[in-house]
Homo-oligomer: A and B are copies of this chain.
Amino acid sequence: MTTTKRGRPRSFDRDAALLQPTLLFWQHGYEGTSVSDLTAAMGISPPSLYAAFGDKRTLFVEVVDRYGDTFGAFMNKALDDASDTRTGFAGMLEAAAVSYTDPHHPAGCLVITAATNYSTQTADIKEDLRERRVANVRSFEGRLNTARAGGALPEGTDTRALAVYFAAVVQGMSQQARDGATTAELQQVAEFAMAIWPEPAP
């Protein structure tokens, strides 16, 4: 028994409209993007934005969540799909090199760059993104632990340090992409970074 929704219908596709805020927050960050910028890019008025998405913070969090499921999904996908942990990390770095320099969207990673500058009022936003990055490092560490337990890494491997290393490389690639590095340059960086991986036991 579903009845059609009453009242004036929304004049825009809520889901499709999320793309513009994503691109703006990605390029300029949370504080660098004003509500006026958002409404202008989306072609709607402020009350429509607030009715559909809540306030600026709520919209931002929804954008970040969605980013993780779309533009940012390559990371876990590469790690999950690989046959072994080593090629998983190698594929993840390679995918980052391509994604971070894709000309169809802003350079780098939204989660890394969108809230590095923050006033006192927006400290919770930067904290939200920080926690996501920290969780990602821990995810790396977990995968490396599994690999070590399975014999794919030497017993004494410091998986924590290795996880921080890979996270740093990814974040450095994001920064380099924003500074103008090319896809080929970042692919070289990705390849260089894998030199750290301990030789597989023969």
Chain A residues close to B by CB (< 8 Å): 28-34, 37, 112-119, 122, 130, 133-134, 137, 158, 160-162, 164-165, 167-173, 175-176, 178-181, 185-186, 188-189, 192-193, 195-196
Contacts and interface: CB of A to CB of B under 8 A. Distances in A.
Nearest to A126: B32
Contacts of A158: 188
A179 B192 CA distance: 24
A112 B168 CA distance: 14
A116 B167 CA distance: 19
B161 A32 contact: no
Contact of A173 (B32, B168, B195): B168
Nearest to A30: B117
A186 B189 CA distance: 19
A contact patch SS:
helix
Nearest to A113: B116
B171 A175 contact: yes
A116 B160 CA distance: 28
Nearest to A122: B32
A188 B175 contact: no
A89 to B, nearest CB: 13
20 contacts: A29-B118, A30-B117, A31-B31, A32-B119, A37-B119, A112-B175, A113-B117, A130-B179, A134-B179, A160-B185, A162-B192, A164-B186, A164-B188, A168-B186, A168-B189, A169-B169, A170-B172, A171-B171, A171-B176, A193-B196
